[in-house]
Structure 1
Amino acid sequence: MNYLTESYVDGLALNGAAMKNGKDLARKNSFPKLRKSPDGELLFGECKGSGKEPYRCSADFVKPDSPVFRCSCPSRQFPCKHILGLLYAYTAGQAFDTEEIPPDIAEKREKAEKREEKKKEAAASAGSDTEAGKSKRKTNKNALVKKIAAQLEGLDLLEKLVHQLVQSGLGSVDAKTLKMLAEQSKQLGNYYIPGVQAAFKQLLLQLEAQDNKETIYTLAVEQLTLLHTLIKKGREHLIQRMADPDMPMDTETTLEEWLGHAWQLAELREHDRVQKETKLLQLSFRSYTDEARGEYVDEGVWMELQSGHIHITRTYRPFRAAKFIREDDSVFDVIQPTELFVYPGELNARIRWEEASFRPAQPDDYVSVQSRARSSYPEAVKQVKNQIKNPLSDKQPVLLLAFDEIQQSEEEDLFILLDPQGKSLVLADLPGEQERTTPLLPLLPKEALKGQTMLVKFGHDMKLNRLAAQPLSIITPTEVIRLQY
């Protein structure tokens, strides 16, 4: 099982604590019995626990894309630390004795195979897999109309709150006003518009900030523009859908998501937003807190090696349930999803997959990334500006740029990125980013600062009052140097 690497096991862990606990079990030799089946597809063993009886755990890779994990412990986290420890022991090269598959696991395998056969028979009776996959699901029109009516009512409430804020003037907003608006904004949670509600909460958080007033008001005006557009376009879209419930959903922009629609994988498949035989390499990763949504967010930036598209993965972990949701982490292998689902979006569409195989990244992969980089900064900047003109679009898109060299301006203490034609682009740490990355550039090897490729995040620099780009990573022919972590 060449795909079973330490980074693969890291990706299975729900969070950093589970990862650490699993590694500690393997390091402390907590497994008196380590076994594997003759074909190597099943790993199983016993792990010392707090009681007299050890915990019996196993990892079944009879289907590598969808392994099955089992453990006798009572942990609500899954995979638990015992399963992770078993896998870490294997990746660390600890000795696994060969033994026949235990009868209970063999019986469970047999039952699983029968269930799979029944599913195939059911699919066959409903028609071919292709036609079944493309068949449109029936819409409950009455329920949809009721939901839309509630959403329209919620947009009316939002409009009143925004008008109330604007009429009183941003300069007159005090702590008492913000507290009152925050209480009123909670009502938006009753109208199925969580994205809109989060946008209004973000405005209130901006006005609460103790930063420079000019910066606060600039951000607040941008957020008010977003809210105004959401009210206008959202209302138009919902009214059209109420009049015609069979009207197709908007699969080109993020409007549906703003209005609270959670895309199901079956819907994405129905709208042909699924790709096969793709290969992905992660170029950057970060975790941050979204106070407006009340969630932790794990965000990865990936390149689709065949097309060169830059995609984003996001795992949302609500504060209250964070410990029960798997925490994403950096990935250094090339991932090959069985199916790649692409959400509606623009430059950096969100992606997701259910099953995937892993392989170590090779020099050819890094060279492939470099070959996809944009070599003309004016064209890249034009594309970015065209996107951010739309209030509903992502204001900080990510692009891959080829660069000739990085220069530092002593007068302004700025870093300048030069493209192969000599055109320049200012590098700066963007507002809202938790980690500063530009100060790390002088610490890199000289060979990494010339003739390479840089992944950058564009945004409006308030101090410079111009478009700037924050470096996220540098890609060389042999590695990805990550500046954000």
Structure 2
Amino acid sequence: MKLDKEKILAMSPNASAISNAKKICSNGSFVKLAHSSDDTFYMGECKGSGKSNYIVSADFIDEENPVIRCSCPSRQFPCKHGLALLFEIADEKTFEECEIPEDILAKREKKEKAKAKKEKESAEGTEKVKKAPSKTSKAARTKKINKQIEGLDLIKKITSQLLKVGLSTMGAVSLKEYKDIVKQLGDYYLPGPQILFQRLMLEVQEYKEDQDTKHYQQALECLKKLRAIEKKGREYLKEELEKENLEIGDNTLYEDLGGVWKLEQLNDLGLKKENARLIQLAFEVTYDEASKIFTDYGYWIDLDSGEISYTANYRPLSALKYIKQEDSNFSLLTVPTLTYYPGGVNKRIRWNNANFNDREDRSFKKIKTYAKNIDDAVKIAKNELKNILTDNAVALLIEFEKIMFIEEEGSKKYILVDKNQKMIELKNNGARELAKVFYELLPNECLENQVMFVKLFQEDRTIYAEAHSIITDDKIVRLGF
């Protein structure tokens, strides 16, 4: 069986498990390797820390979703022995032939019966009747919404005070007082606004220390977003209270207020697509001091629609060792069921499983057909950024004729120019500056008549483009990692 190592990495619970799996392989810990004649079942006998060897197996009856089993006591899934077995398969080690064990056949049969039953119900149009929310759950939901509205009253009070006295008047004492008030928002089921307030306090604190107006502007942006959440959130929650059925809809305010979506909820709302084909355009890791969360962002394009979406893997600082960090992906993914979060131009996406294939040159050429000229891209960005609650960035593909630079007072500015001779400045969104040798580092084939994946953002009423990758006819050149 041909097994892609990128898929193994994607299945791993964390980096440590991968490292330990590779050690098992390099140490020759497998004393026996076997597979069935039809290549749907693989197994190994592996030396471990216990008296007896561990029996590990991989059932590929559903090739896209292999079931890994091991007799070791580890609670990780797959464990390091299971991952090691997959690496042995990927490395095309020698496996002797064996029969599929009876217990595996029994488990397959049970799974097949369940699948057949589900397909039969679907064919007959049989659907599970949704239970009406119980009085207890409805009462609890109503109580929670009322509590959230109380929290929005507190937000209105604080933001009104800040607008009246001005952010610049906040000293060390008042900052501490506001931070104490912000903590109270946790009691009102409003983690979203709570993080925004925390971010505002951090920006004000930074401004007090260095007097950089950029921090003051960022604080004002946070304040404007809080006012918008308070007003729009109140309307949304009151509408929810008036509904007879308190089921969650696809309103983005649910998440803005701190709600957490479940995959099943999104699928039930119809926010999904079957057999999506995705290629990753860029990858980055960010850290937010306000929430103390690392986020691994992957930016993906749907080859069939051109839609650009993103994945987000959240890793709280307090739980870093328990959550695997995501990594860059260089495959063509075929996703049986792709799930979308409510959103605007760039929606967050998730999936349970995917098939990893090699990218072809025609895929890159296809990606390039979805690029916009600079005028159209800027119009899309401006329209999206009108909504104050959206992130200050819109991910798009822009076609360009050349990259040029100009020097002003000893500093270089890089400009993207399209075939209509329209221009947009390349600039990083945040503290990082664009490398002074940005142009010189690019391969020659990337300099003219290509497509750039950018995130458009607004600063001082001007739209800039943050460069992330360049797509040519046969590859994607990443400008990050």
| Equivalent position amino acid for 1:138 in 2 | A
Corresponding residue for 1:362?
Answer: 360
For 1:391, the equivalent position in structure 2 comes to: 388
Aligned length: 474
- Taking the aligned partners of 1:290 and 1:25, their CA distance within structure 2 comes to 37
Q: Distance in 2 between matches of 1:211 and 1:129?
A: 68
Residue 296 to residue 138, structure 1, CA distance change in 2 (3 Å): farther
Shift in Å at residue 175 of structure 1? 3.5
Are the counterparts in 2 of residues 387 and 394 from structure 1 also a CA contact under 8 Å? no
One-letter amino acid of the counterpart of residue 197, structure 1: Q
Amino acid at match of 1:454: M
Q: Which residue number in structure 2 is paired with residue 10 of structure 1?
A: 9
Shift of 1:246: 3.6
- State whether structure 2 residue 187 is matched by structure 1 residue 190: yes
Q: State the TM-score, normalized to the length of structure 2.
A: 0.91
Measured after TM superposition, the shift of residue 345 of structure 1 is 0.6
Counterpart of 1:180 in 2: which secondary structure?
helix
Indicate whether 1:480 and 2:479 are aligned: no
Q: Distance in 1 between matches of 2:468 and 2:436?
A: 9
Structure 1 residues 440, 38: closer, same or farther in 2, change over 3 A? farther
Looking at structure 1, the residues matched to 241 and 55 of structure 2 have their Cα atoms a distance apart, in angstroms, of 55
| 2:134 pairs with 1:155 | no
Q: SS of 2:202's equivalent?
A: helix
- Whether contact under 8 Å (1:154, 1:191) holds in the other structure is yes
Q: What does residue range 203-222 of structure 1 map to in structure 2 within 5 Å?
A: 203-209=200-206, 210-222=209-221
Q: Which residue number corresponds to residue 454 of structure 1?
A: 452
- In the other structure, the counterpart of 1:39 is 38
- Map 1:440-451 to 2 at 5 A: 440-451=438-449
The correspondence for 1:409, drawn from 406, 410, 419, is 406
| Corresponding letter in the other structure for 2:339 | F
What's the CA shift for 1:75?
2.5
Corresponding letter in the other structure for 1:415:
Y
Q: 2:269 aligns with which of 261, 265, 271?
A: 271
User: Displacement of 1:477 after TM fit?
Assistant: 1.3
Measure, in 2, the Cα distance between the counterparts of 1:78 and 1:294: 27
* Residues 84-99 of structure 1 aligned to structure 2 (within 5 Å): 84-99=83-98
CA distance 1:178–1:172, change in 2 (3 Å) = same
- Determine helix, strand or coil for the equivalent of 1:105: helix
Aligned counterparts of 1:137 and 1:452: Cα–Cα separation in 2: 54
With over 3 angstroms needed to count, the CA separation of the structure-2 counterparts of 1:441 and 1:75, relative to structure 1, is farther
Kindly indicate whether the alpha-carbon contact (under 8 Å) linking 2:374 and 2:424 is maintained by their aligned counterparts in 1. Answer: yes
The counterpart of 2:132, out of the listed 138, 150, 165, is 138
Instruction: Give the corresponding residue for 1:102.
Output: 101
Q: CA deviation at 1:234?
A: 0.3
| SS class of match (1:410) | strand
- The corresponding residue for 2:466 is 470
Deviation, structure 1 residue 432: 5.4
Change (3 A) 1:143 1:43: same
TM-score (norm 1): 0.90
Change (3 A) 1:39 1:431: same
Letter in 1 for 2:38: D
Corresponding position: 1:287 with 2:285: yes
SS of the residue aligned with 2:275? coil
CA contact (8 A) 1:438 1:470 kept: no
Alignment map for 1:39-58 (pairs within 5 Å): 39-58=38-57
Q: Report the alpha carbon displacement of residue 437 of structure 1 after superposing the two structures with TM.
A: 6.2
How far off its partner does 1:483 sit? 1.3
Q: 1:378 aligns with which of 365, 375, 399?
A: 375
Indicate how the Cα distance of structure 1 residues 347 and 438 shifts in structure 2: closer, same or farther if over 3 A, else same: farther
Q: Which runs of 5+ in 1 are unaligned?
A: none
In the alignment, the residues of structure 1 paired with residue 216 and residue 390 of structure 2 have an alpha-carbon distance, to the nearest angstrom, of 20
Between 1:4-13 and 1:282-291, the stretch displaced more is 282-291
Alpha carbons of structure 1 residues 312 and 136: separation in structure 2 relative to 1, 3 Å: farther
Q: Which moved more, 1:399-408 or 1:351-360?
A: 351-360
Task: Report the Cα offset of residue 461 of structure 1.
Answer: 4.3
The answer to whether the 8 Å contact 2:138/2:246 transfers is no
Spell out, residue by residue over 1:247-276, the C-alpha distance to the aligned partner (whole angstroms, 9 max, x if none).
Answer: 88553x521211233223333233321111
Question: How big is the shift at 1:279?
Answer: 0.6
CA RMSD of aligned residues (A): 2.5
3-state SS of 2:365 partner: helix
SS at match of 2:240: helix
Q: Decide whether the 8 Å contact of 2:412 with 2:436 is kept in 1.
A: no
Q: Which residue of 2 aligns with 1:60?
A: 59
Partner of 1:43, secondary structure, is strand
Residues 362 and 104 from structure 1, CA distance in 2 versus in 1: closer, same or farther, beyond 3 angstroms?
same
Is the Cα–Cα contact under 8 Å of residues 283 and 301 in structure 1 kept in the other structure?
yes
Residue 281 of structure 1 contacts residue 332 of structure 1 at CA under 8 Å; is this kept in 2? yes
* Higher mean C-alpha deviation, range 50-59 or range 362-371: 50-59
Return closer, same or farther for 1:282/1:42 CA change in 2, 3 Å cut-off: same
Alpha carbons of structure 1 residues 339 and 129: separation in structure 2 relative to 1, 3 Å: farther
Shift of 1:179: 3.1
What residue identity is the alignment partner of 2:472?
Answer: T
Q: Tell me the CA shift for residue 77 of structure 1.
A: 2.5
Which stretches in structure 2 are left out of the alignment for 5+ residues?
none
SS state at 1:51 partner: coil
**Is 1:239 aligned to residue 238 of structure 2?**
yes
Deviation of 1:145 after TM superposition, in Å, equals 1.6
Letter in 1 for 2:189: Y
More displaced 10-residue stretch of structure 1: 186-195 or 382-391 = 186-195
- Shift of residue 83 of structure 1? 1.5
Counterparts in 2 of 1:106 and 1:392: CA distance versus 1, 3 Å: same
**Distance (whole Å) between structure 1 residues aligned to residue 150 and residue 178 of structure 2:** 17
Equivalent-residue separation in structure 2 for 1:107 and 1:432 (angstroms)? 58
The answer for the alignment partner of 1:329 in structure 2 is 327
Tell whether the 8 Å contact from 2:294 to 2:314 is kept in structure 1 after alignment: yes
Task: Report the CA distance between 1:440 and its aligned residue.
Answer: 4.0
| Alignment partner, residue 30 of structure 1 | 29
Q: Which amino acid aligns with 2:222?
A: Q
The alpha-carbon distance between structure 1 residues 76 and 214, as it changes in their structure 2 partners (threshold 3 A), is: same
C-alpha distance in 2 between matches for 1:154 and 1:31? 58
Alpha-carbon contact 2:6-2:356 (below 8 Å) kept: no
Q: Distance in 2 between matches of 1:270 and 1:62?
A: 28
User: Per-residue displacement from partner, 1:195-232 (whole Å, max 9, x unpaired)?
Assistant: 22222122122223355531111001111000000000
Other-structure match for 1:170: 167
> What pairs up with 1:242-257 in 2 under 5 angstroms?
242-246=241-245, 251=250, 254-257=252-255
